[in-house]
Structure 1
Amino acid sequence: MSLKSLMMKMKIKNSTFKTEVLKNNKGMTLIEILIALTLISLMGTFIAGKVFDMLYEGQVKSVNIQMKGFEAQLKEFRRKCGFYPTTEQTLDALITKPTTGRECKNYPPEGFIDGDSIPMDPWDNEYILISDGKDLDIISYGQDNVEGGEGKDADIHLRKPKQQ
């Protein structure tokens, strides 16, 4: 058998095989496509939920880190001044010398935190300082910016609130 005739036979077999495959392949039905789209949508919903949970956890960690930073600066304030700033003086007492309440005679001219304003929490809300000058707590009202709440709307405290 010559090489030319062998190649012709292979060509005929291959083209026959291709046409058989094409005849049997009708594609996906509408039902199969809808099922596939439904499964993809369900997976997307599950994944999006996990991503949003991770985002929230990251925001809470960020709040805790910022609060620890404020706490360190408030301790420095107390070391230099002999007391914590009060609730009325707010965390702004870390930037500029308070003009109300007890006077801090050793307040440094540059303040305790660089910048013109106290950073906001991850939800763009102000941190709340609760202090009588002796004890303190810092609060973020969380993503809903409303006092109280449960779950993802719960307030975040530097100190665990005392049970009443």
Structure 2
Amino acid sequence: MRKQWLLSCVLLGLVAAVVAGLAYVHDRVSQILHDRATLGVLQLSKNLQTFHARYGRYPSKQKGIQELVDRGFAETVPRDPWNRPYRYRLEGGVPVVLSHGADKAPGGEGYDADISRRVEPVSQSLIRDEPLPAARGTSTVGPEAEKPWCAPGG
């Protein structure tokens, strides 16, 4: 009887360890997919900023992300990690790129939450290739300006 009780405890412990391991793996996979969707939204945002810098406008609501493909800013219409196309909409003339998350539905919490980004135009100084102002306490004149940047003491 004592051996059966011991065997039952060992088996129960193994089952608990497997379940805990699966829960951990599921959480990690969900985090990775969420992170990939976030990176996808950021990449589309950058493509839209570049499009805006070149053409002075964003793609229309009708053409959306497809216009990025048509004009060579993307190879294909990208899909989120859950195999759904990223959403594109205009709010007051400003694009918003989003994925509906793991549950593929608007809203949600945690890994089911929407991942979105409002795309703002790039600074005009960056578009015209103007030099950025020097940081305070640095000089862009003289022999120091020609040295490559290195870490302090290097």
Provide TM-score, normalisation by structure 1: 0.65
Give the match for residue 108 of structure 2: 149
Write the distance in 2 (CA, Å) between the matches of 1:58 and 1:93.
Answer: 29
User: Relative CO higher for 1 or 2, CA cutoff 8 Å, sep ≥ 6?
Assistant: 2
Return 5+ residue gaps in structure 2 as ranges.
Answer: 119-154
Structure 2 partner of 1:47: 21
Match status 1:123 vs 2:82: yes
**Deviations, residues 50-77 of structure 1 (Å, cap 9, x unaligned):** 1111111111111111111111111111
Once the two structures are superposed, residues 63-99 of structure 1 have per-residue CA deviations (whole angstroms, 9 ceiling, x without a partner) of 1111111111111111111111133222111011xxx
Paired residue type of 1:88: Q
Q: Secondary structure at the match of 1:33?
A: helix
Question: What CA distance in whole angstroms lies between the structure 2 residues aligned with 1:145 and 1:93?
Answer: 24
CA gap of 1:79–1:133, structure 2 versus 1, over 3 A, is farther
Superposed displacement of residue 37, structure 1: 0.7
**Structure 1 gap segments, 5+ residues each:** 1-27, 97-107, 160-164
**Is residue 36 of structure 1 aligned with residue 10 of structure 2?**
yes
Superposed CA offset, 1:6-50 (max 9, x none): xxxxxxxxxxxxxxxxxxxxxx82221111010011111112111
Q: CA separation in 2, counterparts of 1:60 and 1:78?
A: 27
* Aligned amino acid, residue 54 of structure 2: K
| Corresponding position: 1:136 with 2:110 | no
Contact 1:85-1:131 at 8 Å conserved across structures: no
Task: List 4+ stretches of structure 1 deviating above 6 A.
Answer: none
- The count of residues paired between Structure 1 and Structure 2 equals 118
**Residue 152 to residue 68, structure 1, CA distance change in 2 (3 Å):** closer
Partner residue in 1 for 2:38: 64
The code of the aligned residue for 2:50 comes to E
Which residue identity does 2:84 align to in structure 1? N
The residue number in structure 2 matching 1:81 is 55
Tell me which structure has the larger Cα radius of gyration: 1
**Offset of 1:119 from its aligned partner?**
2.0
Partner-residue secondary structure (3-state), 2:9: helix
**RMSD value over aligned CA atoms?**
2.0
Q: Provide TM-score, normalisation by structure 2.
A: 0.69
How far, CA to CA, are the matches of 1:134 and 1:76 in structure 2? Answer: 16
